[in-house]
Amino acid sequence: MANYLITGGAGFIGSHLAETLLKAGHRVRILDNFSTGRRENIKVIQMIAPQNLEIIEGDIRNRKACDQAVSGMDFVFHEAAQVSVPKSVNDPETTQEINIGGTLNILSAGKRAGIKRLVLASSTAIYGDSPNEKDSLKPKKEPLTPNPLSPYALSKLVGEYYCRLFSKVYDLPAVALRYFNVFGPRQDPNSEYAAVIPKFIERLLQDTPPVIYGDGKQSRDFVYVGDVVQANLKACLQTGIEGEVFNIASGRSYTLLQLLEHLKKILRSDQGPVFEPARLGDIRHSKADIRKARKLLGFQPETGFRQGLKTTIKMMKKTKGVR
């Protein structure tokens, strides 16, 4: 049994991490300010092992809250962040305070507490776009020169650099995972931060046209949340990877139009999309090379795209009482 802190543990990925750890018999502490994290997620995981779950309502921008949360912990999963690209474009200052300042607070608290490992949730957004369409379609490899197109992407890149620095300078073992497009149950389709899959499902369940920003030919590497959880656990325990970054994805990509067709077939819907102008800061194509994660973490995605979509749809229907 070990002690784990999950910042942003009331959120989508954080709550799945908490659920898995509690089922394995570990003690879990969650630090969340509930600005985007959902109390409904806490209710779900509390039923597993309430005696092993502690909730601290606090903000990673507050140093005292970070010290309180990290104290006595063995490992930290740092999921808390401002994750909206459009919001980062409109409010870069707050994005910096949360994603850079907050990450530095957690790392510094971890150094003082002597934790064994910190795993940072980073993002594919740090890669940006390649100069031409042909190059942008190639799988992204970790050594690729970053080209952030939004304050959000830049903030995640800075977080990676801080993890590397703390690993080398302060002897705090830290690893960064570059998430590609994570999906699965508990993504809130009504949030401004929500990814495309729950938004599409929500619209199709309501028999209304899904909204596509751009021409729909932009592509994404979608990875199921259960696979992301396993990647985090492996990154937490694997030795000899301090300061490294890893792509966490499926290694396959689908255009938004292809995604919509998959969802329409599963839901037996004939709704077509509504097209809106492309959003500032969005990248055109995203596909991961995951060989490094396979080799050094033993990471292997296990949930197929269509199966992941079916599971997500089933849970969204259950939540809404739809048959």
Within a 10 A sphere around the Cβ of 179, how many other Cβ atoms? Answer: 26
CB 317 within 8 A of CB 257: no
Q: Where are the beta strands (DSSP E) in 94-208?
A: 117-123, 174-179, 181-183
| Beta-bridge partners for 183 | 224
Give the β-pairing of 254-255 and 219-220: antiparallel
Q: For residues 152 and 121, give the distance between their C-alpha atoms in angstroms, rounded to a whole number.
A: 13
Angle between helices 305-320 and 256-267 (to 10 degrees): 60
Within a 10 A sphere around the Cβ of 298, how many other Cβ atoms? Answer: 11
Q: Which amino acid is at 65?
A: A
Closest CA to 176 of 230, 126, 122: 122
At 229 the three-state DSSP class reads helix
What amino acid positions are annotated as catalytic residues?
152
**Residues in CB range of 308: below 8 A, 6 or more apart:** 183, 184, 222, 224
